[in-house]
Amino acid sequence: MARPRQLHDRYFLKAKADGYLARSAYKLIQIDDRARFLRRAKKVIDLGCAPGSWLQVAANRCAPDAHIVGVDLKPVEHPMPDSVRTVVADVTTLDPSTLPDPGPFDAVLSDMAPNTSGRGDDLRSANLCREVLALLPKLLAPRGTLVMKILEGAETQHVLNETRSVFENARQFKPHACRDVSRETYIIGLRYRGDS
């Protein structure tokens, strides 16, 4: 018998205690603890940023003079540090010239997920990842970092290979903060090749 989903697990409670907007903050913290890219990043963009927990983590971990931009279909309603600017926009039709800071960015983050239905969610997730990869030439600086969520499924290895084709190093990583029953995992791309 499947275990019931535990909505208020220790990461949920920790997020409330630490002032983060969502438990997903600890996913980015654990990714950054492994890849150590945020402390060097002067410009960061978070695609699919609402409610804003990854923006909070980036603001805490980047240099004080960093510029952080969040993009989402939904507005971020929680007050953010001065280093953070948010835009209501569709990532799939994003024009980087309309951003408060057009980049290029040292890191592109994406915790986006499709509205799940139980069927084909992994394929929709893979398509979102491909939308992010298509934006990289306009957004990511050479040698920059990518972190994006993908739901494990038939296309995961293909998307990982596509990521490897434009980064010196790319790998899959599932933070401990992900729920055990979740199919979500993350692709981390290090040292974007850019136009080189």
The CA-atom distances, in angstroms, between 82 and each of 60, 64, 85 are 12, 10, 8
The tokens 């990714």 sit on which residue? 31
Pairing of strands 184-192, 140-151: antiparallel
C-alpha 106/C-alpha 116 separation (Å) is 30
3-state secondary structure of 184: strand
Annotated catalytic, 174? no
User: Before 100, cis peptide (omega within 30)?
Assistant: no
3-state secondary structure of 169: strand
Catalytic residue (one of 16, 138, 149, 174): 149
Number of H helices, E strands in the chain: 5, 7
Catalytic (active-site) positions = 149
